[in-house]
């Protein structure tokens, strides 16, 4: 059996947070989002795949980012119903705590191994749902907004609350290339 050295050597620091979600990885969560609800994307620029695709598909979306001095840990829009985004992986515990504190539905794209830890066990309180995939997501990285970087060392899943019909949903990823226009390497996970 091959040993997953890539996962063990992947960058799990804030510098490793500089990856961006491709459009094809946003597609699977769309089927679970009601069109009559306002979606908050708290880690997203106008060029993020989440903001662009949700807007294109007719969802009511509000977004925010550190670049606009809207820190997720201090800022909350006045009106929103569901939180959807790809948060900085290095801050996943803090993000999950704050997200749960809102007592609203959410979908956060995180490394699948985020399911297990003593701290997250306490945060989840058996209220977590997972949307998992048949393969790994390849993210935009290293400032390349045209193509995704192949060979991602970890699997990803949407960690949800009060959004999916069951505790575990499985979907196939249909990969396609679509550049993130207007993106740069300074935005964080999106």
Quick one: average pLDDT of 119-147?
Answer: 92
Asked whether the predicted pLDDT for residue 157 surpasses 90, the reply is yes
d(CA 181, CA 29) in angstroms, rounded, equals: 22
In-domain check, residue 99: yes
Asked whether the predicted pLDDT for residue 85 surpasses 80, the reply is yes
Three-state SS at 108: strand
In-domain check, residue 183: no
Distance linking the first and last C-alpha atoms of the chain: 33
Residues 87-113: pLDDT tens digits? 998 999 999 999 999 999 999 999 999
Question: What is the pTM (predicted TM-score) of this model?
Answer: 0.86
Higher-pLDDT residue of 152 and 187 is: 152
- Structural domain tally of the chain? 1
In-domain check, residue 190: no
17 Cα distance to chain centroid: 11
Asked whether the predicted pLDDT for residue 180 surpasses 60, the reply is yes
Closest CA to 184 of 46, 40, 62: 46
In-domain check, residue 177: no
The angle subtended at Cα 28 by Cα 8 and Cα 74, nearest 5°, is 70
In-domain check, residue 189: no
Whole-number pLDDT of residue 143: 80
In which domain, by residue range, is 130 found? 5-171
In-domain check, residue 48: yes
In-domain check, residue 33: yes
d(CA 154, CA 189) in angstroms, rounded, equals: 15
Residues 5-53: pLDDT tens digits? 333 334 444 454 678 999 999 999 999 999 999 999 999 999 999 999 9
- Average pLDDT in the chain: 88
d(CA 148, CA 22) in angstroms, rounded, equals: 7
CATH number at residue 36: 3.40.50.150
10-19, 120-129, 139-148, 171-180: least confident range? 10-19
In-domain check, residue 75: yes
């Amino acid at each position: 059996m091959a040993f997953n050295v890539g996962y063990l050597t992947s960058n799990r620091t804030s510098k490793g947070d500089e990856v961006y979600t491709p459009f094809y990885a946003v597609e699977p969560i769309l089927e679970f989002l009601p069109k009559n609800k306002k979606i908050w994307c708290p880690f997203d620029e106008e060029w993020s795949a989440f903001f662009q695709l949700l807007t294109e598909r007719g969802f009511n979306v509000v977004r925010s980012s550190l670049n606009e001095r809207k820190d997720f840990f201090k800022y909350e829009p006045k009106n929103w119903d569901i939180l959807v985004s790809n948060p900085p992986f290095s801050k996943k515990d803090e993000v999950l705590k704050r997200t749960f504190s809102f007592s609203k539905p959410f979908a956060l794209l995180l490394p699948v191994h985020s399911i297990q830890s003593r701290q997250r066990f306490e945060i989840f309180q058996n209220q977590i749902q997972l949307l998992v995939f048949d393969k790994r997501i390849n993210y935009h990285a290293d400032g390349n907004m045209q193509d995704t970087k192949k060979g991602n060392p970890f699997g990803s899943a949407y960690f949800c609350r009060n959004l999916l019909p069951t505790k575990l949903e499985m979907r196939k990823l249909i990969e396609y290339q679509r550049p993130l226009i207007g993106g740069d390497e300074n935005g964080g996970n999106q």
